[in-house]
Structure 1
């Protein structure tokens, strides 16, 4: 258990997750500091998405401890974890295709009516949301759906935002819009945990970085340090930030 005065908002200590017969997370130790954007990087199948899903209670940790601002969230159901102040965008975006953009956004307004000022801020980040406000979300392009998912997650201020590969499948212009939006969120002092495969996105946004392999965290450090060290990039990821 972490101390409530810790600089870390989220802490995972020796977390294990089993999915059926498969042992996916094998002792994950992860800290997400208040007010920072922490990148969670790693090759496909390293356990990044499973880590986010375990934090949200979608899959229950079989061992270890998960703490949010000093209070354990292990064993809690997903709805109660979300009510602790976590906004989560899964890899599949979680959009309700038959509902309009407006109706999708309304689902995120847990504390009452949508704040008009906050909504206009989101429209400034993602003008397409205003343009297609009454259109079924299922009719939007992949990039526009991702904007709905992100917009829904940030509609109300959260203690922690988690995004699972938000740039996946997006055209470069949409990736640039997403980066700009997350930079604006950082200016609010938001705490963000971001899973990414696109190292250019990681370089543009990350403060801290944790690298996963085979269900464990194998590296912690600053994103700036990893960006400068091509040898470390190759060893940890088999990739180079400068090549993306």
Structure 2
């Protein structure tokens, strides 16, 4: 796969094995700088494995992952995160016994205590996700599922990131909270962030996505512009078995 200088993240021929299972079969993917790329596909297509492979949580057995021109395939997960990549896993990874404030402080690498956190950025996060401010001193484990999802994203953006990777941000959320989440990602994109989102909600994908890649059986079987896929019902049906 040819990559352009405008691509912040590129995967070339990536294979991933988990134990005896061969999950990714030569994945090629390009995530352009400053765009929001949607990764779609049926359950079991390999989307989460792909995100975990990018983050070094699972090691690619073949192929390469490049970020900002650097080969990050052999790096450990903490090294990858230090390149200014944030990852929100599907299970959100919230520290239930810590307060909302403490969860954010852990992710704010430039702050040792709460007073050192970027106040203007916190106010922006509170405007995006009012529940984060409302439950600031509450244990994160007491939040609802939707509030935990907001906290997980807030934690990932508590400092500016070059790349934000989120696994199923709209899963299980009420429509009003989905609108909140869409607004948050749109604002991040306008601010110059690059985003890679795995999503099952096709309306969410249509409203936000610039580019789209569709996975099936551990491969990317379609890549293009989200708007074109959104207008092609036959292609949606053949790739995903459903329509927008």
TM over 0.5: yes
Aligned to 1:132: 135
Aligned to 1:121: 124
* Deviation digits for residues 6-25 of structure 1 (CA, Å, limit 9, x no counterpart): 11000000000000000000
Aligned counterpart in structure 2 of residue 174 of structure 1, from 161, 177, 188: 177
- Farther-moved stretch of structure 1 (36-45 vs 183-192): 183-192
Aligned to 1:29: 28
Q: Are 2:91 and 1:88 aligned? A: no
* Deviation digits for residues 114-172 of structure 1 (CA, Å, limit 9, x no counterpart): 10000000000001110100000000000000000000001111110000001101111
Instruction: List aligned pairs for 1:87-236, cutoff 5 A.
Output: 87-112=86-111, 113-236=116-239
Deviation, structure 1 residue 185:
0.7
The root-mean-square deviation of aligned C-alpha atoms, in Å, is 1.2
Q: Are 2:59 and 1:60 aligned? A: yes
Deviation, structure 1 residue 111:
2.2
SS for the counterpart of 1:58 is coil
SS for the counterpart of 2:141 is helix
Q: Tell me how far apart the structure 1 counterparts of residues 234 and 120 of structure 2 sit (CA, whole Å).
A: 46
Q: Tell me how far apart the structure 2 counterparts of residues 157 and 28 of structure 1 sit (CA, whole Å).
A: 28
Number of paired residues?
A: 240
SS for the counterpart of 1:193 is strand
Q: Tell me how far apart the structure 2 counterparts of residues 16 and 9 of structure 1 sit (CA, whole Å).
A: 20
Q: Tell me how far apart the structure 2 counterparts of residues 164 and 106 of structure 1 sit (CA, whole Å).
A: 22
In structure 2, the gaps of 5 or more residues are: none
Q: Are 2:19 and 1:20 aligned? A: yes
Is the contact made by 1:39 and 1:193 (CA closer than 8 Å) also made in structure 2?
Answer: yes
Deviation, structure 1 residue 2:
8.1
In structure 1, the gaps of 5 or more residues are: none
Q: Give the TM-score, by structure 1 length.
A: 0.96
Q: Tell me how far apart the structure 1 counterparts of residues 61 and 231 of structure 2 sit (CA, whole Å).
A: 37
Deviation, structure 1 residue 173:
1.1
- Farther-moved stretch of structure 1 (10-19 vs 166-175): 166-175
Runs of 4+ in 1 over 2 A off after TM superposition: none
Is the contact made by 1:16 and 1:62 (CA closer than 8 Å) also made in structure 2?
Answer: yes
Q: Tell me how far apart the structure 1 counterparts of residues 166 and 143 of structure 2 sit (CA, whole Å).
A: 20
SS for the counterpart of 1:111 is coil
